[in-house]
């Protein structure tokens, strides 16, 4: 039987160091071992056996040993395992995600060049991972916060009131329950098609759209309220762009944002969707992106 882990992806950057603290706390909350993983990225062209490859292996071994040791001292009771596989980082992360409870990476947002996890690797990993991926900003990274995103504050989940939400809500309710904090569930609605171009529409029309969003949101949340009666839930039906409204809500006492991305693939490869993409750019807190059908 394969042991489930919380997997931490390191790259030596400040972002992955901040993610390490978040991952350690999460592993303790879930009573799971923490896999500390640093991918020895395959250079192009491949480096032949010799001093350079040996130095890279030694650095990776030392980096994971040092970080695992630091975390074990800071978080008593934490169980760690260390791995330094060679490969293409996004490929390795996608593979290990199949046997992980969740995968935790550091991120400064897609526009940054600091840390190899901050841009294309994080995006490719999110698009292909089999488990939820949590992106954590470094301390002091605008809009900042406690190192690794502190444990206090609500959990905020964003769902599509017209789409499947079970996987996102399952993750969000459990995250709130483990932390003993309230859960906010936000669903955004917009006027369909050309109606959004006419601000003078009959208020009854927009009221009906708002009521429909609220109804669908309540229907989606109801089964999970029953399964997690200890979690205090606030439903937030809002008008506007979903990513923008989630970012604004996240700035008001939220410790973790949870959103989904479809697992469907196109001829151009896997995609994460506009909401997850927007949150990867702008979410001010740790962000969990949950794959769903």
Q: What is the pLDDT of residues 236-263, one digit of tens each?
A: 999 999 999 999 999 999 999 999 998 6
* CATH code, 245: 3.40.50.12370
pTM of this structure: 0.87
Cα Dmax for the chain: 74
Pairing of strands 269-270, 265-266: antiparallel
Are 132 and 12 part of one and the same domain?
A: yes
| Domain count within the chain | 2
Q: How far is CA 198 from CA 155, 191, 201, in A?
A: 35, 10, 6
- Is residue 179 in some structural domain? yes
CA neighbours closer than 13 Å in the CB half-sphere of residue 89: 24
pLDDT surpasses 80 at 40: yes
Name the nearest CA neighbour of 89 among 20, 41, 17, 19.
Answer: 41
Summarised one tens digit per residue, pLDDT across range 86-126 is: 899 999 999 999 999 999 998 765 443 344 444 678 888 99
pLDDT surpasses 50 at 142: no
Domain ranges, residue 124:
5-136
- Is residue 87 in some structural domain? yes
Q: What is the mean pLDDT of the chain?
A: 84
- Is residue 144 in some structural domain? no
Q: How far is CA 89 from CA 45, 85, 100, 130, 237, in A?
A: 16, 9, 16, 15, 38
Are 132 and 161 part of one and the same domain?
A: no
Give alpha helix (H) positions in the chain: 14-30, 51-74, 89-97, 120-128, 166-179, 203-227, 242-250, 274-282
Are 32 and 105 part of one and the same domain?
A: yes
């Amino acid at each position: 039987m394969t042991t489930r882990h919380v997997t931490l992806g390191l790259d030596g950057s400040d972002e992955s160091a901040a993610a390490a603290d978040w991952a350690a706390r999460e592993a303790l909350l879930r009573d799971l071992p923490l896999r500390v993983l640093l991918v020895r990225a395959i250079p192009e062209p491949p480096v032949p056996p010799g001093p350079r490859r040996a130095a890279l292996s030694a650095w990776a071994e030392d980096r994971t040993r040092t970080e695992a040791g630091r975390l074990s001292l800071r978080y008593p009771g934490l169980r760690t395992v260390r791995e330094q596989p060679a490969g293409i980082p996004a490929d390795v992360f996608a593979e290990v995600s199949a046997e992980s409870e969740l995968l935790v990476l550091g991120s400064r947002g897609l526009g940054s060049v600091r840390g190899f996890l901050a841009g294309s690797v994080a995006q490719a990993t999110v698009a292909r991972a089999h488990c939820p991926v949590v992106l954590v900003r470094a301390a002091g990274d605008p809009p900042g916060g406690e190192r690794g995103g502190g444990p206090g504050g609500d959990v905020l989940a964003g769902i599509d009131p017209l789409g499947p939400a079970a996987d996102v809500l399952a993750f969000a309710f459990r995250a709130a329950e483990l932390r003993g904090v309230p859960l906010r569930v936000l669903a955004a609605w917009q006027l369909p098609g050309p109606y959004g171009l006419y601000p003078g529409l009959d208020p009854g029309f927009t009221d009906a759209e708002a009521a429909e969003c609220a109804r669908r949101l309540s229907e989606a949340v109801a089964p999970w309220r029953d399964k997690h009666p200890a979690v205090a839930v606030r439903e937030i039906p809002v008008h506007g762009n979903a990513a923008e409204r989630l970012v604004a809500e996240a700035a008001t006492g939220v410790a973790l944002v949870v959103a989904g991305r479809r697992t469907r693939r196109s001829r151009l490869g896997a995609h994460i969707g506009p909401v997850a993409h927007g949150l990867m750019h702008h979410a001010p807190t740790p962000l969990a992106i949950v794959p769903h059908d």
